[in-house]
Copies of this chain bind each other. A is one copy, B any other.
Amino acid sequence: MKVLFTFVPREDQQQRLTNEFPEVQFHFAKQDKSLLPEAEIVVTYGEDLSSEDIEKAKKLKWIMVVSAGVEKMPHKAIQERGIIVSNVRGIHKTPMSESVLAHLLSLKRSLPVLYENQRKKEWNRRVGSSELKGSTALVIGPGAIGAEIGRLLQAFGVYTIGCNRSGVSAEFMDEMVRFHNIMEALPKADIVISVVPSTKETKNMLKQEHFQAMNSDAIFMNFGRGDLVENAVLLEALNKEEIAFAVLDVFEEEPLPSHHPFWEMNNVIISPHVSSHSSKYVERSLDVFIPNLKKWLAEDPNPSNLVNMEKGY
């Protein structure tokens, strides 16, 4: 049986796979898809498969996506063929929550100012630091990642409000609000963090009125998907100082075009969709893949973290 990786893991990680599964032929090939017609399993970051690829991949039965989002995959072609899709939901929570806290603490403790002053060799003690403690954070979409962010925020003495469609309680949230009632919660929040995936419901979910309702000192963080809010809406909120800061890991268009005003704005931090990156990422993906491949070889085609391609998550 052949397994095609559309990226190349480290040497020791390849070794781990071949040692564990001597009966399987692994191919690690970035961009080279010539082996697609023979592969039963494809392991991919989920951005490099077209519907033509699916058509060529006659033997393909399982796509293992080492990412959380599947919105760039050819849903229709995959569904028609009944190909199983699974992902690595859950492995993003550590790097992403550390990134969220890194950005928040960096702003509160004036690290960008310190770095800038060091570049100028300037000993300047007027850096205007404040504290994270005592803030209130609104977490939109408190799933596994949001809960981990909530846990860390609470450790810093931050009051957490979770926001989802149902208003059903979520872990590490001091209180919950239904998205329907978000307007009541927005003025209370010093920090508004979105970690929602891209679905029909979340597209352009945040509008002008929501930013107008936010605290003018608020930090808005989009670590979910870029289509949560239109660039123009966010840009206006920042220019009108309806909010104080935006930390953006995702954008309507990625890469963010080089002429976009966000790049030069003092109240915007650009993180080029790297908040889930980690030197431990591929290792953890293999921790998910290996037990699933064992089951697969034992004729149990039910990998963990199955993705419903109709719902999109």
Copies of this chain in the oligomer: 2
Closest approach, in angstroms, between the C-beta of A66 and any C-beta of chain B? 15
Q: Which residues of B contact A110 (CB under 8 A)?
A: 274
Q: How far is the CA of A132 from the CA of B99 in the complex (A)?
A: 10
Stretch at the interface among A30-38, A111-119, A225-233: A111-119
Pair A130/B278 contact, Cβ less than 8 Å: yes
From the candidates B99, B118, B264, B270, name the one contacting A109 in the complex (CB within 8 A): B99
Q: Which residues of B contact A98 (CB under 8 A)?
A: 105, 108-109, 131-133, 156
Q: How far is the CA of A7 from the CA of B121 in the complex (A)?
A: 27
> Which chain A residues (3-52) contact chain B, with CB distance < 8 Å?
none
Q: Which residues of B contact A101 (CB under 8 A)?
A: 101, 105
Count how many chain A residues have C-beta atoms less than 8 Å from C-beta atoms of the other chain.
52
Closest approach, in angstroms, between the C-beta of A172 and any C-beta of chain B? 11
Closest approach, in angstroms, between the C-beta of A129 and any C-beta of chain B? 5
List 11 A–B pairs whose Cβ atoms lie within 8 Å, in order of A's numbering: A94-B131, A95-B129, A99-B109, A101-B105, A102-B106, A102-B108, A103-B111, A115-B115, A118-B269, A123-B256, A129-B279
